[in-house]
Structure formats: structure tokens, C-alpha cells
Amino acid sequence: MQIRLVTEPLERPLRAEQLVLYVDGAKKPIAPFFTRYNENTYLLYFDLPIVINGTAYFKVERILYRGSAGLQEYTVGEEIHIIREPTSVLSIIPGFIVLGKNQDEMQVQIENRKGDALFNISASPSITHVYSTLQTINFGNKRIFRFRVDQSKLEPDATISIEHTGQKYKVDVMKHQESQISAQNKTPLQEDSKMVFIAAQPEVRKTITKDTSLFGILSLKNEGNVTIEGIVLELTGNLEPITALDTTLIPSLQPGESLDITLSINKDQEGALGIYGGNLVAKAGALQATFPIAITIETKQPGQPINRTSVDLDLKKTEPIDRGQEFDVNLSQAPQPQKETEYPIGLILITLFLVLIAIGVYFLKRRRIVREETFDDYIKKIRK
């Protein structure tokens, strides 16, 4: 199911949890690949259940809109018309392709969910491929089809088309929309402001199985010399169904200040098989920082047991310490001042004891030395 949502300016951007499928009034679980393409346009796609007995409605719930009647909450919906009991079913991922800057390669995954699938592939002139003959995928299997694109020649309505059982399914191919501010229009605040993601790796690019979850901690840092306020964190591409952040709003960052952000991928270990890609983006007015993420969730090989694991992405990067401000508080390991000469304590005590004895003997001798008079000396003294 492909849907392009175009809205009036909303009080709050739409989120994936507001997208719901109902069959005969009962909510059915879906895993929508959901991205905000521009201010008022959202792109999403998801697989419908193989069997649907009853009327199906797609709804967007809890939409906050401020109009003439003030702030109100709305729900909108559309009936989905389904061919009952199809003879063949394909799952095509992605439903939309939003090209990154300078991207010239892309791919589409097609899986045969029911029947023997024969189909043709075609594309707009700016998109080239090698699939000029009839393609086939056996039941239960899937294939990756690769394409090249010249973005300088990309048509506004560029598509990759899959023609199957008389129906043509189109995957729209679009350039990424990003607001640009020319250097001459930059304000002094923008020139003095800069925020970046600090991580041990320049991106996350992983292939996992459904029973594996990933987590990591990276930092957003203000490397400018003015305070940055009102920083919003969001995920682009089709990352939202499997990716979560511990915060989506940072009130402010002082110059030189950084804040840790926890990234969780496939946390509940229930992500749909497929290819997920996009960026973690931090925005504050015209300022922006991006961190690329690309995840593939693939099926386990036959015979492999389910082994639910959580893997640390090791994104946390320790910044160098400013040596001018460093001091060692671990006194037990602090280096001791080097002494010119060291003596054993026993030798010092013995030497001190001997010196004291020598001094005592000296004074004792002085007290005992008295000049002895002879008899002649005595006679001479009394005769005077």
C-alpha cells in the first residue's frame, strides 16, 4: 500500500503511531515505512495482510489542527479497495525512493508472497537498469534489483514500474528536499553557530536478523560560540518504524556543551524484514546536523535457532582531555617527587644514636676533667 499524505500546516507533525489499518472495525497491526518529505507532505507504504475478509480502512488519527475554531483533534480515513483472493502477491520495498545528495545508485527488493510471479520492469529515462526481459521469482523467495540514476536529468515524475498480472505498480523516485541558506544571507548568529554529532563511527550500517536489537549512545555538541535553542531531533527516510530516540527535543545547548542521545534500533525485535535507511537529523532554525543510518533486517537461514540479542553499536566517543586543565585526583597512583638520595630508615636511626652517644661522652668527660695539685704546689700556695 502506497500513500502520499498532503496536509494543511499542522500544530504538530504526524508520527507513525497515528497511522492505523482497520478491517471490519478491528485494528490490524501494520509496520508503516514513514517519512516526512517536506513541510506538508508525508510518504508511507506498508504491506497489507495476505487475506482480508471485510471492508478495510486506512486512518490517520489524533491530528492536531488549529483553524478558525481553534485547536482541534481530527481523524481522517479512506477505504482501501482490495482484490479478493488474488492468484499472485508481491511485496515491493521501498514504495518511495528519496535520493540523498549525490546518490546515483538505488535498489528495490521484490518478494513473492503467493503464486508464481512473472513481471516486467521499466523506468523513466533518467534511470538505467539491465532488466529488459521478463523477470520471475519463485514462491517464498525475494530478489534485489539495482538501478542507476542521473540526478541532473531526473524527471519530476520519475518512477520505477513493475508490471504484474496486468497491473502497473510504480515506485516514485524523488530528490531529497532540503532548505538551503546562501552564504550572503547568513546572519551573524548563523555564522557563529555550529552543531555536530560526535560518534566513534561516521555512520551506522548494519545487517541484522529480526531477533537482534541495536543500541548506541552518541552526542550532539554545540561547537559555536553562541547558545543554540529549540533543537528538534527527527528521523528521515523509513527509519521510524524500527528506530527510537530517548529524546526528540533539546531546549538549549551552551557553547561547547554536548548532550548524549540514546539510539535504539529494532528494540522490540519485531521489525519487518526489509531495507531501512535515512538520517538522524538535529534541527534548530537554519542549523542542521545529520548522522546516516542504514539497516537491513533479513531472515535467518533455515535451521538457525532464534537467539534474541542486544548489540552495543559502540558509538560513544571520548573527547580528548584538555591537558591545560588536567589534574590527577587518584592520590594512590600519583607520581612521587624524585629525591636526590635515599637512605634506609634503619641506617639513619643507628647513625643518629651514635651521634647522641658521642655528644654525651664529650660533655661527661668535660665534667670529670679536674686538674690535680701536687704537694709542692699546695705548699707554695699556703706560703704566699
Which of 54, 85, 116 is at the close of a domain? 85
What is the domain count for the chain?
3
Query: How far is it, in rounded angstroms, from Cα 122 to Cα 159?
Result: 9
281 in the same domain as 213: yes
Query: How far is it, in rounded angstroms, from Cα 202 to Cα 125?
Result: 34
Task: Judge whether 40 lies within some domain.
Answer: yes
Q: Which residue has the higher pLDDT, 49 or 184?
A: 49
310 in the same domain as 201: yes
152 in the same domain as 225: no
The pLDDT score that the predictor gives to residue 239 is: 92
Share of the chain above pLDDT 90, in %: 27
Residue 268: other Cβ atoms inside 10 A: 9
Q: pTM for this one? A: 0.49
Three-state SS for 196-219 is EEECCCCCEEEEEECCEEEEEEEE
260 in the same domain as 167: no
What's the number of CA atoms in the CB half-sphere (13 Å) around residue 74? 17
Which of 63, 85, 107 is at the close of a domain? 85
CB 241 within 8 A of CB 33: yes
Q: Which of 292, 93, 297 is nearest to 205 (CA)?
A: 292
What tens digit of pLDDT does each residue of 69-101 get?
Answer: 888 888 999 998 887 777 888 888 888 898 887
Helices (H), the chain: 188-191, 345-368, 375-383
247 in the same domain as 225: yes
198 in the same domain as 137: no
Strands of 117-123's sheet in order across: 96-99, 167-175, 159-164, 117-123, 135-137
CATH of the domain at 135: 2.60.40.10
The pLDDT score that the predictor gives to residue 337 is: 46
User: Which DSSP category does 239 fall into?
Assistant: -
Which of 316, 348, 366 is at the close of a domain? 316
The pLDDT score that the predictor gives to residue 318 is: 64
Task: Judge whether 249 lies within some domain.
Answer: yes
211 in the same domain as 99: no
136 in the same domain as 123: yes
What tens digit of pLDDT does each residue of 213-224 get?
Answer: 999 999 999 988
Which range is least confidently modeled, 214-218, 269-273, 314-318? 314-318
What tens digit of pLDDT does each residue of 260-269 get?
Answer: 999 999 998 8
The pLDDT score that the predictor gives to residue 321 is: 41
The three three-digit cell numbers of residue 263, written as one number: 539510539
What tens digit of pLDDT does each residue of 107-126 get?
Answer: 898 989 888 789 999 999 99
275 in the same domain as 227: yes
Query: How far is it, in rounded angstroms, from Cα 320 to Cα 318?
Result: 7
CB 216 within 8 A of CB 313: yes
Most trustworthy range by pLDDT among 72-86, 191-205, 209-223, 307-321: 209-223
312 in the same domain as 226: yes
Query: How far is it, in rounded angstroms, from Cα 265 to Cα 210?
Result: 11
98 in the same domain as 53: no
The pLDDT score that the predictor gives to residue 356 is: 67
What tens digit of pLDDT does each residue of 28-52 get?
Answer: 877 777 788 888 898 888 888 777 7
Mean pLDDT score, 205-228: 90
The pLDDT score that the predictor gives to residue 339 is: 46
96 in the same domain as 64: no
What tens digit of pLDDT does each residue of 282-305 get?
Answer: 988 778 899 999 999 998 877 777
CB 291 within 8 A of CB 269: no
**Residue 287 lies in domain:** 190-316
What tens digit of pLDDT does each residue of 331-380 get?
Answer: 334 444 444 445 555 555 566 666 667 666 666 655 554 455 555 665 55
Query: How far is it, in rounded angstroms, from Cα 374 to Cα 229?
Result: 110
The pLDDT score that the predictor gives to residue 316 is: 85
